[in-house]
Structure 1
Amino acid sequence: MTPFKKVTLFCHRWLGFISGLVVFIVSITGCLFCFQDEIQDAMYSYRTVQNTGKPYVQPSQLIAEVKKNFPTVSPDYIYYYGAERPAGVLANQGKDGYHYVFLNPYTGKITHHEKPQTNFFIIVEYIHLYLLLPPAIGKWIVGVSVIIFMVIMITGLILWWPKRKSDRKRSFTIKWGGRWRRVNYDLHNVLGFYATAVAIVLSISGLAIAFEPVSRAIYNTANVGRNITYKQEVSEPKSDSLKRTGVATQPVVDMAFAYARQQRPQAQMFLIHNDPALSGAIGVGAYPKSMHYARATGFEFDKYNGKLLKSYIYEKKSPGLKLTEMNYDIHVGQILGLTGKIIAFLASLICASLPVTGFIIWLGKRKKKPKAVRNVVHRRTHKRELAIIK
């Protein structure tokens, strides 16, 4: 082994020891989360409703229904997930966190409510993001471990790369008929190779979701050569409470929702934010496909008079903004539909196995006894010595 590969192997091994446990946890939770929508749809009847063909009830009616049943909450986010899905209201309870209320979008009646922190897949998501630690701490532990894991994948590719053409076939296949140690060795190397490209994409998209500088770097890279500044494109306008002229005659949230539906009649999903802590404006996002968060068009309205403050038309967005808004769909694989989810699931499963198979390889080398050195005597020399003795 060359000195370069010795150093590479040293880095690969010890970086694996440092990050292995976190990588295993993050990868396993990623596997579980890939199909969380499909699993929950199969488990919970409240996640689907019958499409009656009637118009949706107004957002203000959903808010009123939630306030009637939960007087102390602030309904900050309203969701219309699709024609055959319930509407949802994420209501702020202050120190008690949030309350998630599901309603029939055609009748406005509550069908289910829960604390998000009691939902199994929300717990899985928090383990994936923060290891159930305080977010400020857990985010960094996960983030650093993911960066280390990307280095491990690159060093592993360098170590795996076959020297001779005759070794390539063996390097791309698993010798299932071999001893279990050989099978484990092949599982680590061969599966690691096949998962490397997808694992790096999933890692970068995850880092972009968690860390604003990474997201901004992706944005700037995709916009190379374009005269677009990040802050101008993504900045949210604010309502001016001193200019309340032309007060709306109907709830602004209803006006905002109606405008978004008129502008994007083919959109399947709408997300409305009415959170005063964000900007004081009311925003509506229109999404072409239910439960998919890419390719959105957004609108911001003055919360006092319903005036349109800013539009985020998808076709006019820069390549960088389009790409950064795809991060979630890329990260869970749904950017490619069911096929993408399967690829992301398998890649995450392989990533979870790599620390285990790698540790077994290291453990096997430590326990391996040195072979006894045989004293080989050349046959002719042995015969000559016998002749001398005679």
Structure 2
Amino acid sequence: MTKFKKVILFCHRWLGFISGLVVFIVSITGCVFCFQDEIQDAMHSYRTVQNTGKPYVQPSQLVATVKKAFPMASPDYIYYFGTERPAGVLANTGKDGFEYVFLNPYTGKITYHEKPQTNFFIIVEYIHLYLLLPPAIGKWVVGVSVIIFMVIMVTGLILWWPKRKSDRKRSFTIKWGGRWRRVNYDLHNVLGFYATSIAIILSITGLAIAFEPVSKAIYNTANLGKDITYQQEVTEPKSDSLKRSGLAKQPVIDQAFAYARKQAPQAEMFLIHNDPAVSGAIGVGAYAKSMHYSHATGFEFDKYNGKLLKSYIYDKKSPGLKLIEMNYDIHVGQIFGFTTKIIAFLASLICASLPVTGFIIWLGKRKKNKPKKERLVTHRRAQKHQLHQI
């Protein structure tokens, strides 16, 4: 082995020791989360409703229903998930945390409610993002480990890549008939090779979710240096509480929802936010597909008089903004449907296996080298004994 490869092997091994446990946890939780929508749909009947063909109940009615059931709640986020899915209201109850309330979008009746922190997949998500540590600490532990893992994937590729063309064909396959140590070695190297490109994409999109500078870098790269600034395109406007002239006759939240549905008639899902802590304005996002968060058109309205403040028309967005809005769908593998979910699941599963198979390889080499050292010591002692006899 050349000196260069010895250095690469040293880095690969010790970086693996540093990040292995975190990578394993993050990858396993990523596997579980990939199919969370499908699993929850199969387990819980409240996640589907019968499409009656009637108009949706107005957002203001959903808010009133939730406030009646939870008087101390502030229903800041309202979801219309689709024609055969319930509406959802995420309400802030203060000290008691959030309450997630599901309602029939055609009748306005509550069908189910839960605290998000008790949902199994929300817990899995928080482990994936923060390892259940405080978010400010957890995101850095996970983020640094993911960056290290990306370096490990590259160094592993350098170490594994066969020198001779004749060796490449057999290097791309697992020798299932070999001894278990050989199979483990192939699982680490061959599967690691096949998963590298997907693993790096998942890693970058995960970092973009956790760290805004990564998101900005993706935005600027996709825009190829065009004169578009991130903040100008994504910053939400704020309502001016001093300019309340011409107050809307209809509740602004209903007016905003009606406008968005008219402007985006093909949208399957709508998200309405009325969170004072975010912008003070009422925003409506219209999404092309239910449970998918890319290909969105959005609108911001003055919360006092219903005036349209800003539009985010999908066709007019920069390539960078379109790409970062696809980030979640890419990360969970749903960007191109069920097939890409399977790919993301398998890649995450392989990533979870790599620290395990790598550790087994290291243990095997350590045990293999130990008898050699013992034999060498014994041999040297025998030589000394012979010299003393002479």
User: If the length of structure 1 is used for normalisation, what is the TM-score?
Assistant: 0.95
Alignment-derived partner of residue 39 in structure 2: 39
Unaligned runs of 5+ in 2: 377-390
Q: Where does residue 52 of structure 1 map in the other structure?
A: 52
Residue equivalent to 1:361: 361
Counterpart residue identity of residue 370, structure 1: K
Q: Which residue of 2 is the match for residue 382 of structure 1?
A: none
In structure 1, the residue matched to 2:233 is 233
CA deviation after TM superposition for structure 1 residue 236, in Å: 0.5
Q: 1:96 deviation in Å?
A: 1.9
Per-residue deviation, residues 349-380 of structure 1 (Å, max 9, x unmatched): 0000000000000000011133979xxxxxxx
1:244 counterpart SS class: coil
Whether 2:27 is the aligned partner of 1:30: answer no
Give secondary structure in 2 for the equivalent of 1:57.
Answer: coil
Match of 1:98 in 2: 98
Query: What does 1:288-367 correspond to in 2, within 5 Å?
Result: 288-367=288-367
2:70 equivalent to 1:70: yes
| C-alpha distance in 1 between matches for 2:336 and 2:164 | 36
Measured against aligned partners, the alpha-carbon deviations of 1:230-270 in whole angstroms (never above 9, x if no partner) come to: 11111110000000000000100000000000000010000
Q: Distance in 2 between matches of 1:94 and 1:275?
A: 13
Q: CA deviation at 1:95?
A: 2.2
1:96-146 deviations in Å (ceiling 9; x for gaps): 211000000000000000000000000000000000000000000000000
Residue of structure 2 equivalent to 1:195: 195
Count of residues paired in the alignment: 373
Tell me the amino acid that sits aligned with residue 273 of structure 2. Answer: H
In the alignment, what sits opposite 1:212?
212
| Greater mean deviation of Cα atoms: 5-14 or 92-101 | 92-101
Alignment of 1:120-199 (within 5 A): 120-199=120-199
Is 1:84–2:84 an aligned residue pair?
yes
Give CA-to-partner distance per residue, 1:284-323, whole Å, 9 cap, x none: 0000000000010000000000000000000000000000
Query: 2:388 matched to which residue of 1?
Result: none
The DSSP-based 3-state class of the residue aligned with 1:76 is: strand
Distance 2:39 2:366 in 1: 42
Query: Residue type matched to 2:23 in 1?
Result: V
Alignment correspondent of 1:379? none
Separation in structure 1 between the aligned mates of residue 225 and residue 6 of structure 2, nearest angstrom? 41
Fraction of identical pairs, as percent: 87
Q: Distance in 1 between matches of 2:224 and 2:176?
A: 47
Structure 2 CA distance for aligned equivalents of residues 112 and 127 of structure 1:
25
**2-structure distance, mates of 1:254, 1:336:** 33
1:18-44 per-residue CA deviation (whole Å, 9 max, x = no partner) reads 000000000000000000000000000
Report runs of 4+ in structure 1 exceeding 2 Å deviation. Answer: 369-373
Q: How far apart, in 1, do the equivalents of 2:61 and 2:93 lie?
A: 19
Q: Distance in 2 between matches of 1:325 and 1:199?
A: 20
CA distance in 1, matches of 2:26, 2:235: 32
Letter in 2 for 1:63: V
Aligned position for 1:222: 222
Q: Tell me the amino acid that sits aligned with residue 133 of structure 1.
A: L
The code of the aligned residue for 1:75 comes to: P
Name the SS of the counterpart of 1:173 in structure 2. Answer: coil
**CA displacement, residues 51-85 of structure 1 (integer Å, 9 cap, x when unaligned):** 00000000000000001110000000000000000
- Report the Cα offset of residue 226 of structure 1: 1.2
- 1:117 corresponds to 2:140: no
Letter in 2 for 1:218: I
Q: How many angstroms apart in 2 are the aligned matches of 1:79 and 1:276?
A: 17
Supply the distance in 1 between the matched residues of 2:150 and 2:96 (Cα, whole angstroms): 38
What SS does structure 1 have at the residue aligned with 2:372? coil
For the residue of structure 1 that corresponds to 2:304, the secondary structure is: coil
Cα deviations across residues 170-219 of structure 1 (Å, max 9, x unaligned)? 11000000000000000000000000000000000000010000000000
Q: Which runs of 5+ in 1 are unaligned?
A: 374-390
Alpha-carbon separation, structure 2, partners of 1:224 and 1:365: 47
1: CA distance, partners of 2:209 / 2:343: 20
What does residue 378 of structure 1 align with?
none
Q: Distance in 2 between matches of 1:250 and 1:110?
A: 24
**Structure 2 length normalisation: TM-score?**
0.95
* Inter-partner Cα distance in structure 2 for 1:140 and 1:88: 31
Secondary structure of the residue aligned to 1:226 is coil
How many Å separate the matches in 2 of 1:225 and 1:162? 38
2:372 alignment counterpart: 370
Tell me the distance in 1 between the aligned counterparts of 2:50 and 2:95.
36
Report the equivalent of 2:379: none
Residue 91 of structure 1 aligns to a residue whose secondary structure is strand
Post-superposition offset of 1:225: 3.2
